[in-house]
Amino acid sequence: MNDDPIVGVLALQGDVREHLAALAECDVIARPVRRPGALAEVDALVIPGGESTTMSKLAQDFDLAGPIRERIAAGMPTYGSCAGMIMLARTVLDGRPDQRGFDGIDMTVRRNAFGRQTESFEAAVPIDGLDDAPVHAVFIRAPWVESVGPDVRVLGRVTSGPAAGRIVAVQQGSLLATSFHPELTGDLRVHRLFVEIVRAATSTTEA
Ligand SMILES: NC(=O)CC[C@H](N)C(=O)O
């Protein structure tokens, strides 16, 4: 029954198509989620990169903010990349005062943290659990994680340059977040890692 979990991609704004394409290659059923009815049908959710302030507003306009928060609190596996990481954070620095996330991961993130001169850059980032080679990480006006709570596992940090040591990949239970955009590179390992998390979570709840 769990052979093909249904993984939704929050489709309000951002690079939705790229995540749907990456997930479709990972042996799951990938679907856009734009309405509460579609959310109710998915086992897991991906929150794409884009602009967190816009996503926050649209989530409220589309009556998805409350239901997503509730599903996450109830254990729905969720992966956020870039703006999606911001939406999953408990605390956001340099956000808009009215922006509201889904309160998933016990962490503080800083929006647009890498600064103007390094708005976009690429770096090799070793990720815990993906040990064969570092991930080629694409950062676009990305957040970094300033601090994490005791239940959050740090999976990856920037290894060189002025931002060396900054946390850019984390996991808390079935919640995963990266500052960067694996959906843009064709490297499916982060999506596969998430699908493993989804399979583990759905098999325990339905066993
Ligand atoms: N590429 C991205 O997702 C950028 C995130 C954006 N800076 C935000 O605050 O939401």
Please report where in the chains the tokens 């960067």 appear, as a residue: 180
Ligand 1 environment, Cβ below 6 A: 49-52, 82-83, 86, 111-112, 140-141
Which single residue is written with the structure tokens 């995540």?
19
Report the alpha-carbon distance of residue 55 to residue 167 in Å, rounded: 23
Residue 31 labeled ligand binder: no
Give the global pTM: 0.96
How confident is the prediction along the chain (207 residues), in pLDDT tens digits per residue? 457 899 999 999 999 999 999 999 999 999 999 999 999 999 999 999 999 999 999 999 999 999 999 999 999 999 999 999 999 999 999 999 999 999 999 999 999 999 865 678 899 999 999 988 999 999 999 999 999 999 999 999 999 988 999 999 999 999 999 999 999 999 999 999 999 999 999 886 554
| Domains of the chain by residue range | 6-206
Give the separation between CA 94 and CA 58, rounded to whole angstroms.
19
Is residue 183 flagged as an active site residue?
yes
What's the fold here for domain 6-206? Rossmann fold (3.40.50)
- Distance from the alpha carbon of residue 53 to the mean position of ligand 1, in angstroms: 8
- Within a 13 Å sphere around the CA of 192, how many CA atoms are in the beta-carbon half? 10
- How far apart, in whole angstroms, are the C-alpha atoms of residue 186 and residue 197? 20
CA of 86 from ligand 1 middle (Å) equals 8
